């Protein structure tokens, strides 16, 4: 089946996210707009308008009622998923790099960048307490003075957040006390992306050191390594098979000097147990910035530096990939 091409952004895609049922796909880019699409046919459902800077992150809660976006305009915004109405605006001192709902959808976390003399913070808000939103006062704010957070996800049961840092380190921050529960350093360079497995027991990290690695969420034990010869921008774990998909390419600065063939702008499939690559899917005219599996495991999406989101369908049993563009 031919991939579905979603053309709703003018600049490069920064993150894509499916909701839990997988009927909606959210995409954000460096062009201030957050889009939501029907994943089955690629029809655009609507946009969330309000940000005035690049939007770095997006998340959707468990029952697809609210959407959270974080942007370089120094704000994190909460939207009504159905109507596109802005429900809350949380102003920060620097750009919001990562954001996420916990499993209950009641608590949100977001991290801010270390820039303009402000340090990196990991903030926690309880949406059940409107006073916190009104006063813009998180119930917990954890400073990360050493290394800024580049990617973060909620761990199982909403007890902690797993954060990846600029130096390749992982920290588990408790959502109650803010203390660091565990540390691990398996990557030698910046962590670009962290995504959890469907049951939250494992997570995969994508790094600038040309590898993606699989970890246990609770103990931070390193399980598997997937090696490539390019920086990995994003990686995702299949919900039904022992497969991972990775997207990458070289730095955006060097893209103009290479052809798409040399640039290696394919999504790459690895077997999660054997660490072997078994498939590649071409498509983007630039590095892939983010990948995500559909919750049913029968399709995946990728967002690229070229501003397109592509939804690829395949039969995971046979992996009869359509390798033409």
Q: What is the pLDDT of residues 101-130, one digit of tens each?
A: 998 889 999 998 887 778 888 899 999 998
47-106 residue pLDDT tens: 999 999 999 999 999 999 999 999 999 999 999 999 999 999 999 888 999 999 998 889
Per the CB < 8 A criterion, the answer to whether 295 and 315 are in contact is no
SS3 262: helix
Tell me the domain boundaries of the chain. 3-318
Share of the chain above pLDDT 70, in %: 92
| Residue 124 · residue 107 · CB < 8 Å | yes
Per residue in 14-48, pLDDT (tens digit) is 999 999 999 999 999 999 999 999 999 999 999 99
pLDDT of res. 321? 47
162-166, 193-197, 252-256, 319-323, range with the lowest pLDDT: 319-323
What are residue 273's DSSP bridge partners?
none
Can you say how many angstroms the Cα of residue 271 is from the centroid of all Cα atoms in its chain?
21
CA-CA distance, 279 to 257, in Å (whole number)?
A: 26
Of 92, 94, 220, 96, nearest to 164 (Cα)? Answer: 220
Determine the CATH number of domain 3-318. 2.130.10.10
| pLDDT of the residue at 325 | 36
Determine the Cα–Cα distance for residues 57 and 76; give it in Å rounded to an integer. Answer: 9
The position carrying tokens 């497969």 is 243
Question: What value does the mean pLDDT of the chain take?
Answer: 87
Whether pTM exceeds 0.85: yes
Q: Which residues of 279-302 are buried (b: 16+ CB within 10 A; e: fewer)?
A: bebbbbebbbbbbbbbbebbbbbb
């Amino acid at each position: 089946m031919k991939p579905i091409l979603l053309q709703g952004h003018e600049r490069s895609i920064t993150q894509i996210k499916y909701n839990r049922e997988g009927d909606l796909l959210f995409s954000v880019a460096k062009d201030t707009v957050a889009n939501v699409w029907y994943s089955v046919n690629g029809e655009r459902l609507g946009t969330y308008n309000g940000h005035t800077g690049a939007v770095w992150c997006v998340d959707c809660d468990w029952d697809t009622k609210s959407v959270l976006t974080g942007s370089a305009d120094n704000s994190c915004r909460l939207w009504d998923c159905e109507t596109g109405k802005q429900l809350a605006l949380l102003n920060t001192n620097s750009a919001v790099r990562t954001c996420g709902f916990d499993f209950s959808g009641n608590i949100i976390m977001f991290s801010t960048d270390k820039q303009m003399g402000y340090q990196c913070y990991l903030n926690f808000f309880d949406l059940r307490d409107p006073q916190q939103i009104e006063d813009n006062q998180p119930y917990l704010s954890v400073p990360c003075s050493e290394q800024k957070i580049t990617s973060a996800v909620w761990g199982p049961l909403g007890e902690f957040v797993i954060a990846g840092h600029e130096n390749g380190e992982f920290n588990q921050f408790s959502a109650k006390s803010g203390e660091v529960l565990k540390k691990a350093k398996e990557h030698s360079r910046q962590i670009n992306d962290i995504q959890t497995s469907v049951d939250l027991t494992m997570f995969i990290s994508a790094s600038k050191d040309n590898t993606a690695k699989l970890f246990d969420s609770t103990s931070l034990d390193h399980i598997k390594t997937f090696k490539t010869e390019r920086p990995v921008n994003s990686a995702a774990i299949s919900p039904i098979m022992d497969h991972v998909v990775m997207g990458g390419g070289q730095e955006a600065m060097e893209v103009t000097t290479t052809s798409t063939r040399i640039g290696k702008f394919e999504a790459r499939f690895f077997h999660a147990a054997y660490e072997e690559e078994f498939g590649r899917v071409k498509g983007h005219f630039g590095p892939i910035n983010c990948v995500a599996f559909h919750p049913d495991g029968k399709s995946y999406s990728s967002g690229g530096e070229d501003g397109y989101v592509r939804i690829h369908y395949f039969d995971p049993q046979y992996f009869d990939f359509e390798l033409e563009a």
